[in-house]
Amino acid sequence: MPLSSDEASRFADLLKEHAESLTARWVELAGASLRGRLSSAELRRQLDDLRKGFEQAMRSGSAHLTDEGSAELRAQLAEISGHRARQGFSATETAVSIFALKDAVLEALGNGDDAGTLRDYVAFSAFVDRAALFTFDSYVQVRESLIADQAEQLLELSTPVVKLWDGVVAVPLVGTLDSARAQVVMERLLQTLVDTGSPYAIIDITGVPAVDTQVAQHVLKTVVAARLMGADCIISGIRPQIAQTIVALGIEFGDIATKASLADALRYVLNKTNRSLNTKRTER
């Protein structure tokens, strides 16, 4: 049952007239469930802002939370919800503190227990319910974007590109190499090649449990891209079971150097660089 514009304006009056006592009572009720994890000064500020938001929405004759007149209130609710999500409050806790407004309003209505007041109250109560559910939705959205951010950070962390030696960078691949990670790995490796001016890159797959054609294709693409930038890639960490599987699958690494371990790969690179130093010397 939506609020009639009459009802809405009566509630706007009520929210204004009893501003102080309403907010005080609301803070008391909501504060109980938040158990002091939010300073009462901050809670008071938040809830008084919200009370004004509700008052404004009612004043504009908003029958629904989705109405134009409630836009400001929705923004406030989303902000509070996002705040709480970041502070680690649960979605329920946030919604419950909105629900508490109903009790505070009911008390302010006092003994006007005629049918009209009751109908008003039920309509207003439904409006507050919507508001609480709205915080629930925006809470979930904020949490999801927080989680996505963290996953992205983890992705970066789990693909470190290290400078192993002068002129040699290495990227140890760990876990499953899906397309998103493969993309990150390639970008970071290429960037590190530029930053360090290294002519060699070692891609170590010791930590990859299964090398399927998708992983192989990602590795091959990375090698080709590195070559275009003038760097030579060595694939290391090919364990016996992986080697046999790669052969059975029919994957060919062509002329790409492959080594059993990272140490072997480094030795191989150092040998090559020594030799080229030596040849240069004899040429002189």
Residue window 163-202: x/- pattern of binding to other proteins, with contact defined by CB under 8 A: -------------x-xx-----------------------
Strands 232-236, 257-259: pairing kind = parallel
Compute the residue count for the chain.
Answer: 284
Residues 6+ away with beta carbon under 8 Å from 89 = 34, 37, 38
Q: 32 or 247: whose CB is closer to other proteins?
A: 247
Residues linked to residue 171 through DSSP beta bridges, in sequence order: 203
From the list 14-22, 112-120, 211-219, 273-281, the region that binds other proteins by CB under 8 A is: 211-219
Binding to other proteins by residue 157, rule CB under 8 A?
Answer: no
259 SS3 class: strand
Query: In whole angstroms, what is the distance from residue 236 CA to residue 262 CA?
Result: 5
Q: How is residue 14 written in tokens?
A: 């009520």
245 SS3 class: helix
Binding to other proteins by residue 241, rule CB under 8 A?
Answer: yes
Binding to other proteins by residue 150, rule CB under 8 A?
Answer: no
Q: 42 or 152: whose CB is closer to other proteins?
A: 152
Binding to other proteins by residue 230, rule CB under 8 A?
Answer: no
Residues 6+ away with beta carbon under 8 Å from 189 = 161, 169, 171, 201, 203, 222, 226
Q: 106 or 247: whose CB is closer to other proteins?
A: 247
Among 21, 40, 213, 274, binds other proteins (CB under 8 A): 213
Classify residue 69 by its DSSP letter: G
Q: 70 or 159: whose CB is closer to other proteins?
A: 159
From the list 5-13, 48-56, 129-137, 237-245, the region that binds other proteins by CB under 8 A is: 237-245
Q: Which residues bind other proteins (CB under 8 A)?
A: 176, 178-179, 209-214, 216-217, 240-242, 244-245, 248-251
